[in-house]
Amino acid sequence: MKFITFARDEEQLPGLWLGGGRIADLSSAVGSIQELIEAGEAGLKAARDLAKDEDVNLSAAAVRLLAPIPRTRKNVFCIGRNYIEHVAEGARAAGQETRLPEYPQIFTKAPTAINAPGAPVRLDAGLTKLLDYEVELAVVIGKAGRDIPKDRAYEHVFGYTIANDVTARDLQRRHEQWFKGKSLDTSLPLGPWIVDAAEIGDPTTLELSLTVNGQERQRAKASMMIFDIPTIIASLSAGMTLEPGDIIATGTPSGVGYAMTPPQGLKDGDVVVARIDRIGELESPIKAV
């Protein structure tokens, strides 16, 4: 199933993307996708039942998609430098030798950075001269847990979505901690939906790619991660509780703009499309403000 949040009038409503231009409104069963995830198996069952109900079936054209969780309860967890070729291109751009991380590199993005599929990403030229993209597979936590062992990690995954970890490279460097350069408003396009874990099956077989104005910049298999999803979940949850609706962006492959020769920042009017097979595509126009 593909879990969405959609806007109708002023309301944010939970739903299912049915395909064929149709969605199912789940609001008679749950208040939000966050609530549905917290409900566990009961939430999935309610969604399955409503998907067959003609009375809640709507045209997708009548609604606007938001991020599947438009406002997470806490910061979005992110893994840095998790694909070898991306570590290597970063080292090259900095004139340094490639050194692979020994442990997952963890940072976060503010919940206010979350952006809807199709919505513009702000480009404030007074603030950043090098705005960059990063396609990432995002894991959505279902069942809460602390000290989750690797071999139980997938039991805590509700599903998967696409994240574009948009980054102001100059701010990322200037402030040393990455938080500011990673957390500008609209700098986390997320969606277009969360696909439940059972439908995805083995996430290591997923392929990620990203284009700018139709030109391919990034392509890799999720199996190329340095730290795989069980390792990331075990490491993050060690002594720290993960909760339903928490999101973990698992790192980006090579091909980012700042490592190109010369470095290429996103420009007004560019259209960035992040894709992951079996999930979908997440389009973001860049808009000067």
The residue ranges that bind Mg ion (CB under 5 A) are: 134, 165, 252
CA distance 257 to 133: 7
2/182 with CB nearer Mg ion: 182
The nearest distance, CB 272 to Mg ion, in angstroms, is: 14
The nearest distance, CB 222 to Mg ion, in angstroms, is: 14
208/233 with CB nearer Mg ion: 208
- Taking CB atoms, the residue at the shortest distance from Mg ion is 165
CA distance 86 to 94: 12
What DSSP string runs through the chain? -EEEEEEETTEEEEEEEEETTEEEE-TTT-S-HHHHHHTTHHHHHHHHHHHT-GGGEEEGGGSEEE-SSSS-SSPEEEEES-BHHHHHHHHHHTT------SS-EEEEE-GGGEE-TTPPEEE-TTT-S-EE--EEEEEEE-S-BSS--GGGGGGGEEEEEEEE--EEHHHHHHTSSSHHHH-STT-EEEEEEEEEHHHH--GGG-EEEEEETTEEEEEEEGGGBSS-HHHHHHHHHTTS-B-TT-EEE----S--GGGSSS-----TT-EEEEEETTTEEEEEEEEE-
35/185 with CB nearer Mg ion: 185
Half-sphere exposure of 263 (CA within 13 A, CB side): 16
The nearest distance, CB 55 to Mg ion, in angstroms, is: 42
The nearest distance, CB 81 to Mg ion, in angstroms, is: 9
The nearest distance, CB 109 to Mg ion, in angstroms, is: 9
29/249 with CB nearer Mg ion: 249
134/246 with CB nearer Mg ion: 134
The nearest distance, CB 253 to Mg ion, in angstroms, is: 10
134/228 with CB nearer Mg ion: 134
44/166 with CB nearer Mg ion: 166
CA distance 272 to 215: 9
The nearest distance, CB 39 to Mg ion, in angstroms, is: 30
